[in-house]
């Protein structure tokens, strides 16, 4: 690195510098391409700012903590974007870095987009985005030993459209198909916990006894179907006797995500989530 570049970097504010780092390498969910997308898996993704479209080779990007800080907990992060794009800035990589620094393994999910115009209507939420979500859960559980993760401490967190996927993954999962020739498909797709951050389509969410515990964060000024929907969803979980925690931030709307250095109550929701993981027994209180 030249002296000129070092001097230039020294002038960049510290809170901006982490955004300059390249994310770790992404790991494709299927080695030969996802079912239904094999012919397009080599197409490059399209990047506009921190938003990504044209996802045909779904993947996870791992952010692994050091052995000294590792809690054994893993979280899949499903960014939002209305199923037409993935908002990987404030709903992806920045939060993954924060989790990693907190001793929590984070995996940013790039799933196929049902409403991306480049997909030409080839994908649906339930058949493709959800296949990607469940596959990500299976992969992480199947490689838990390698990544120093507890196989019963693997959860999913989603923003907006990604929150829909997180909710659906908790609603419908399976223990794996032992007859499948792919060892990953023999692994459970059930998340051990779920976090819904201002998710849409809550009218489609169902709740049954025995579902994974739930953390919710949303804004008072969000759309009524989200702000009121999350309050109603919490009550459904209470009725089903499934542990849930709800945070509705009075001065927040939609899309607050996670932005390092934000000095608002809503901006601090990841700390409340980590506290919830501790209270729920996933992270030892001494960690």
With respect to residue 36, please indicate whether it lies within any of the assigned structural domains: yes
Q: How far is CA 82 from CA 90, 116, 163, 244, 246, in A?
A: 15, 9, 10, 25, 23
Q: Residue 186's domain is classified under what CATH number?
A: 3.40.50.1820
With respect to residue 210, please indicate whether it lies within any of the assigned structural domains: yes
Whether the per-residue pLDDT at 6 is higher than 60: the answer is no
Q: What is the pTM of this model?
A: 0.91
With respect to residue 7, please indicate whether it lies within any of the assigned structural domains: no
Report which of 258, 271, 199 is spatially closest to residue 228, judged by C-alpha positions: 199
With respect to residue 98, please indicate whether it lies within any of the assigned structural domains: yes
With respect to residue 40, please indicate whether it lies within any of the assigned structural domains: yes
With respect to residue 6, please indicate whether it lies within any of the assigned structural domains: no
Determine the pLDDT at residue 21. Answer: 65
Q: How far is CA 57 from CA 62, 73, 260, in A?
A: 16, 26, 29
pLDDT, mean of residues 160-172: 98
With respect to residue 287, please indicate whether it lies within any of the assigned structural domains: no
Q: What domain range is 133 assigned to? A: 23-279
285 vs 29: which has the higher pLDDT: 29
Whether the per-residue pLDDT at 74 is higher than 90: the answer is yes
CB 192 within 8 A of CB 160: no
In the chain, what is the straight-line distance between the N-terminal and C-terminal CA atoms, in Å? 37
- Could you give the number of structural domains in the chain? 1
With respect to residue 70, please indicate whether it lies within any of the assigned structural domains: yes
Determine the pLDDT at residue 163. Answer: 98
Report which of 19, 23, 87, 99 is spatially closest to residue 61, judged by C-alpha positions: 23
pLDDT, mean of residues 154-170: 98
């Amino acid at each position: 690195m030249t002296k000129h570049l070092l001097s230039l970097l020294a002038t960049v504010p510290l809170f901006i510098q982490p955004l300059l780092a390249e994310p770790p390498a992404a790991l494709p969910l299927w080695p030969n391409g996802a079912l239904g997308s094999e012919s397009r898996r080599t197409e490059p993704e399209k990047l506009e700012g921190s938003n990504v479209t044209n996802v045909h080779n779904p993947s996870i990007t791992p952010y692994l903590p050091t052995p000294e800080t590792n809690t054994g907990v893993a979280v899949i992060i499903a960014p939002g974007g209305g199923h037409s794009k993935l908002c990987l800035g404030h709903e992806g990589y920045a939060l993954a870095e924060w989790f990693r620094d907190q001793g929590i393994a984070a995996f940013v999910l790039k799933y196929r987009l049902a409403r991306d115009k480049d997909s030409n209507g080839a994908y649906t939420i339930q058949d493709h985005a959800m296949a990607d979500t469940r596959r990500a859960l299976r992969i992480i559980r199947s490689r838990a030993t390698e990544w120093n993760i507890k196989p019963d401490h693997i959860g999913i967190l989603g923003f907006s459209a990604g929150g829909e996927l997180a909710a659906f993954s908790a609603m419908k999962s399976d223990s794996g198909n032992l007859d499948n020739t792919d060892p990953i498909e023999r692994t459970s797709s059930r998340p051990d916990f779920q976090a819904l951050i201002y998710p849409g389509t809550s009218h489609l969410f169902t709740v049954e006894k025995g579902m994974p515990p739930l953390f919710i964060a949303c804004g008072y000024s969000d759309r009524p179907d989200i702000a009121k929907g999350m309050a109603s969803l919490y009550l459904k979980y209470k009725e089903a006797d499934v542990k849930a925690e709800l945070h509705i931030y009075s001065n927040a709307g939609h899309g607050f995500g996670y932005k390092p250095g934000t000095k608002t109550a809503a901006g601090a929701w990841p700390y409340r989530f980590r506290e919830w993981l501790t209270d729920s027994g996933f992270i030892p209180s001494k960690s």
